[in-house]
Structure 1
Amino acid sequence: MPGSILENTVDPPLPAPKAHLANAPLLQPRRDTLKDGRRRVSLYPITGGANSLPPGLVRYLHAEFSAEIERGCTYPMEQAMTLERFRDYWFGTFAVVALIEEEDAGKIGLHERDWEKVCLGTFYIKPNYPGRCSHVCNAGFLTCAAARGQGAGKVMGKAYLEYAPKLGYKYSVFNLVFANNPASIKIWDGLGFEVIGRVPAAARLANSEEMVDALIYGRVLQ
């Protein structure tokens, strides 16, 4: 379930505001349940960058994100990033990784696992604008292909609404939610976001013969 992002895949990410830097290390893992009501999910805040994660997990998420870009339906990029660029782009500010909960929950950094079986997805949180507007944040979401249809996107969306205000952000903007992506639209509508703008014919997507509009979603964070 990709979210929506102000895409700049070349330059370093915008600096996080002071409240973000102060509060990020205090955040704790979040627990939730998938829509089947049985499988538990652990959502881990990642504040130490990609080096704080098992290398196999970073490689797996890079492969998943690359495949999503190559499908050409949800993200605006036309070419996949290198692994090194992905590490900084996704984990350079703040990110969350969602895993099926296991008996050793809480030990994400201690050993490798079969990530295709246990990793549901990931999202990041960054400032959407610099400086005096940096209290407005933005996020990008990725649901792993093997985990789709299980409610992982909504679980991550709920976690985003918990973590973003704790990082000091006051408002959320999603810049590019493509109008032909009903899964994302359903999640954001259900979580209290509002369409605050529309960009006509914003994208050339692989799943549409016509140019696709992009919705701009916003929500107050509390």
Structure 2
Amino acid sequence: MTALSIRPATSDDAEAIWAIIEPVIRAGDVFALPRNMVRDDAIAYWLGGDHIPFIAEENDEIIGSYYIRPNQMGGGAHVANAGYATAQAATGRGVARAMCLDSLDEARGRGFRAMQFNFVVSSNVRAAALWRSLGFAEVGRLPGAFDHPALGSVDALVMWRAL
């Protein structure tokens, strides 16, 4: 078995990234993105703008993707933000942990001084626990900020850590 490797994503990875993020978007329970978002818009979001995208591969198969970007412009540009998605078949194998650790290194190497997650859905307890285990603190809670498709209004967490 080949070890997990993480590399910058290219437009050639778009189909594999779509295969990973489409089920997450459709489920509507962790990303604050429209559940009916079409492929081209999702790929433009994930790979475009100020996003710096990466993919995680194992045995030449793309099993995860993340991006980093400045959390804000101007005076807030020294704080990174990130988004992560793991292929459903790879869940529970440490892919998200590896991607987060890589993103922290990438952010640090690009001169960011902290990382902030603006909108961690509180019902996504696995992700929140993972982020806490990697040194993120809950610095804010937005009551009822996320309209979960099964649970109704749930809180969103703001999580932060220094780099």
| Fold match (TM-score > 0.5) | yes
- What secondary structure sits across from 2:144 in the alignment? strand
- What secondary structure sits across from 2:108 in the alignment? helix
In structure 1, the partner of 2:39 is 83
1:44 matched to 2:7? The reply is yes
1:72 matched to 2:14? The reply is no
Indicate the RMSD between aligned Cα atoms, in angstroms. Answer: 1.7
Q: What is the CA–CA distance in structure 2 between the aligned matches of 1:81 and 1:211, rounded to whole Å?
A: 21
Q: What is the CA–CA distance in structure 2 between the aligned matches of 1:40 and 1:172, rounded to whole Å?
A: 26
Any residues of structure 2 matched to 1:10-159 within 5 Å, and which?
Answer: 39-46=2-9, 49-50=10-11, 53=12, 57-92=13-48, 93-101=51-59, 118-159=61-102
Determine which structure has greater relative contact order: mean sequence separation of CA pairs < 8 Å that are 6+ residues apart, divided by chain length. Answer: 1
Compute the displacement of 1:122 (Å): 0.4
Q: What is the CA–CA distance in structure 1 between the aligned matches of 2:2 and 2:94, rounded to whole Å?
A: 11
Identity between Structure 1 and Structure 2 (%): 30
1:37-88 deviations in Å (ceiling 9; x for gaps): x651110023xx52xx3xxx31132133122111121112233433332333
The answer as to whether partners of 2:47 and 2:53 remain within 8 angstroms in 1 is: yes
The answer as to whether partners of 1:66 and 1:80 remain within 8 angstroms in 2 is: no
In structure 1, the partner of 2:109 is 166
Q: What is the CA–CA distance in structure 2 between the aligned matches of 1:75 and 1:89, rounded to whole Å?
A: 12
In structure 1, the partner of 2:140 is 197
- TM-score between the two structures when normalised by the length of structure 1: 0.67
In structure 1, the partner of 2:125 is 182
- TM-score between the two structures when normalised by the length of structure 2: 0.90
The answer as to whether partners of 2:28 and 2:35 remain within 8 angstroms in 1 is: no
Residue correspondences, number: 161
- What secondary structure sits across from 1:96 in the alignment? strand
In structure 2, the partner of 1:21 is none
- What secondary structure sits across from 2:30 in the alignment? coil
The answer as to whether partners of 1:121 and 1:142 remain within 8 angstroms in 2 is: yes
Structure index of larger Rg: 1
Structure 1, unmatched stretches of 5+, are 1-37, 103-117
User: Which one has a larger percent strand, Structure 1 or Structure 2?
Assistant: 2
